[in-house]
Amino acid sequence: METTRLGKTELQVSRIAFGTWQVSGEWGSYDVDQAQRAIRSALDRGVNFFDTAQAYGFGEAEEVLANALRGELDRDRDSVVIATKGGINPGGDKPRDSGREWLRSGVESSLKAMKIDHIDLYQVHWPDTDTPFEDTAGYLQELVDEGKIRHVGVSNYDADQMAAFDRRRSVETLQPPYHLFRRGIEDDVLPYVRSHDIGTLVYSPLGSGLLTGTLTTDSTFEDDDWRSQSSAFTGEKFRQNLEVVERLKSFAADKGVEVSQLAIAWVLAQDGIDVAIVGARSERNIERSLAAVDVTLSADDLAEIEKITADGVQIGGAAPEGIA
């Protein structure tokens, strides 16, 4: 597994991180044992970077992850890099809360759920515009000073929000959504992270399943799968993007790879992207995704992908307040 330096953190991490949103109860039912075997499989194949969040099942995903990595967390803590997120309270009166009390309680909750004494990377899950970003930075620095967290990042922030945060303490990492059908970070966010040496780990490189090549216009989702409420997975927008995926599948096949591997490789080939976060609930799926690090895309390949996806429709995703 290829590794990279994660911006100012100086952490050496695998270019694919294992994500755990899919074991939160927000993607329908899943088998815990199977999910933990997928985590172990990723570890055995060189993944040392694992991303989770307090809000993923209100600690459920953190517990699933920690139980799968219990041996490493207890015996060789530095062999794995644990990233988690806080600062949101879905369903609460204040869905986004980056105030001192909620952030501190979130860190304590995550430490307890994972039974660890520090978090390698703690990220503000969504920007809270009711709390000055400089203040949020200061609250997190307090937790760094206390040794509860090692590094500080943000997720879903724009360039101006990161600049405000930076005025108190450096943003070390950013976690934005990014895939072939969601490219909003390219204009302002990516130039900012490149110029400020901010490590960038992107989520949903497979478009929440859209770029796996397994969905059709007849695909349905369980009621407790957030995609059942998303406009990206129904109607004309869905149909049009699936047509693009079919063309990508043909291009990928000509290169001897799967379309999901092509999609991940495309993300990793973009300037300023350090890590792609990939979730899986089975060993087979994570093994297939990890193979993407061995896919090399030439300038001609990237240009052809641009042509193929020109007919695609840009989509949104889930947020603390609801689903686009």
Q: Which residue has the tokens 């992270």?
A: 193
Nearby residues of 148 by Cβ (< 8 Å), 6 or more positions away: 107, 108, 111, 118, 119
17 vs 39: CA distance, rounded Å: 10
- Single-letter code of the amino acid located at 130: D
For residue 202, give the amino acid letter.
V
Active-site residues: which are they?
56
Q: Could you tell me what percentage of the chain is helix, strand and coil, using 3-state DSSP and rounding each to the nearest 5? A: 45, 15, 40
Length of the chain: 324
Of 273, 272, 266, 267, nearest in space to 305 by CA: 266
* C-alpha span between 81 and 123 (Å, rounded): 13
Q: Distance between CA 239 and CA 311 in Å, rounded?
A: 12
CA-angle at 211, arms to 207 and 212, nearest 5°: 120
The CA dihedral of 69, 16, 320, 108, to the nearest 10 degrees, is 30
Amino acid at 167: R
Closest by Cα among 66, 81, 23, 86 to 279? 23
Is residue 23 within 8 A of residue 64, CB to CB? The reply is yes
Contact call for residues 153 and 203 (beta carbons, < 8 A): no
CA angle 3/264/175 to nearest 5° reads 70
Using CA atoms of 30, 226, 82, 162 in order, give the dihedral in degrees to the nearest 10: 180
